[in-house]
Amino acid sequence: MKFYLLDGVGAGFVFGAMIVFMIITIVLEAVTMLLMKYNTAGKAFLDSFLVNLVSLGAGYIILFFNRGFSVPRTESTLANVLILFAVTVIVEFGILYMLNRKTALRKTLITAVVINVVSYLLYFLVTVLFVDGI
């Protein structure tokens, strides 16, 4: 009996979980922007979608084309997460600033940091609760 279908289903499940996680992240970041009075509802959701899309693309570029520039890797998981957090904040801050040039630079930076804190808290909870299992 061949179980090739199960291999495909498992990969599809992981891909589906990634999409669900991305949608939840976009919604959480947009709501956070609304709570911070950074943007109106429609603009907050659009900005959240765009910055996460660019951030995802930047992550893939770093992952697959890590030739000319290097993201340092350490043995410490916490250090790796902090490096990833810093890269994400820098990328999302840049895109958020380009999308909202009339907003003060400081407010955009604070917003970029806060929305990513919310996203990484979600990532941490998902990792601890579902992957590591408490």
Domain ranges of the chain: 4-132
Size of the chain in residues: 134
How many Å separate Cα 94 from the centre of its chain?
Answer: 14
pLDDT at 71: 55
Q: Where are the alpha helices (DSSP H) in the chain?
A: 4-35, 41-64, 77-99, 105-126
- Compute the distance between CA of residue 73 and CA of residue 98 in angstroms, rounded to an integer: 29
pLDDT at 72: 59
Sign of CA dihedral 45, 50, 55, 57: positive
pLDDT at 60: 82
pLDDT at 115: 96
The segments of the chain whose pLDDT lies below 50 read: 1
pLDDT at 125: 83
